[in-house]
Structure formats: C-alpha cells, structure tokens
Amino acid sequence: MSDQRTLTLKEFHADARARFGENPLNWAFQCPSCGDVATGEALRAAIASNPRKHSTGQSVRFTDVLGQECIGRSLGALKGSAVRGCKYAAYGLFPGPWQVTVPGRERPMFCFPLAPAPLAVVSEDGGASS
C-alpha cells in the first residue's frame, strides 16, 4: 500500500517527468487497491477499445482518467469482466492516496501514486524541460 502524499501540480508533474519523461503516455500509476501498474499508453488503448462518455456527453480521453481510475474501469470491471485491474477510483469513497493541489481549484485532485521509475528510461524526443 502506498503512503498518502500531498503535493502541488507543479511538483507532481516534475516528479512524473523525472520518473518517466515528458510524454504522459509513458507515465505510470499504481492502483492502490489491486496494485496494477498502468501507463497512459495502456489506458489509452483500453479506452479506445471500450469507448465511453462523461455525463456531459464528451468522450472520455485517457488524460481525463490517468492516475484517477484503475485501468480495470476502462476494461469492464464495473460489469465484472475486466481482464486486469479493478474498479477502484481515486475520487471514490477512499480518495487518493495522493492529493494534488491545483491552481484555481478549491479542492485538491486525488490521484493514485506514480509507479516507481523504470530501470532504464528511454528518452524519446530529448524533452526540453522548462
């Protein structure tokens, strides 16, 4: 189980970049419930094969739920048929365990912890850091 952590959005992005590089498709989060580690790429593929919409009618994009939902939610866990993951969400009954304070937002954003950095990081585009 992961520890609770509170950080700013800036700190959060810096940590994610340090672990996985600039591309959010490579960012990986670990579900605090089932332990599944899913990258943005895996989540994008899961959503592409199971498209769904927000209550607003807009299509769910991987960036909407990255670090917010276990990949199982995009693979049918809510219907009990996911091949991996579970239905856990960082905004659910037991929020977090990470809290990210977002400028202009009154309430923090809850998210899953980032997965540990991979052993070898492959740089894709040189990623100019700001």
37 binds Zn ion (CB under 5 A): no
For Zn ion, the closer CB: 30 or 99: 30
Residues 85-114 touching Zn ion, rule: CB under 5 A, are: 85-86, 88
CB of 40 to Zn ion, least distance (A): 16
| DSSP element (H, E) containing 109 | strand 109-111
Interface size with Zn ion, residues (CB under 5 A): 8
Helix (H, G, I), strand (E, B) or coil at 130: coil
Is there binding between residue 21 and Zn ion (CB under 5 A)?
Answer: no
Q: What is the 3-state secondary structure (H, E, C) of the chain?
A: CCCCEEEEHHHHHHHHHHHHCCCHHHCEEECCCCCCEEEHHHHHHHHHHCCCECCCCCECCHHHHCCCECHHHHCCHHHCCCCCCCCCECCCCCCCCEEEECCCCCCCEEECCECCCCCCCCCCCCCCCC
Query: Binding pattern to Zn ion, positions 42-81, x when CB under 5 A?
Result: ----------------------------x-----------
Q: Rule CB under 5 A: is residue 33 a binding residue for Zn ion?
A: yes
CB of 100 to Zn ion, least distance (A): 19
* Binding residue (CB under 5 A) for Zn ion from 31, 47, 89, 115: 31
Give me the residues that bind Zn ion (CB under 5 A), please.
31, 33-34, 36, 70, 85-86, 88
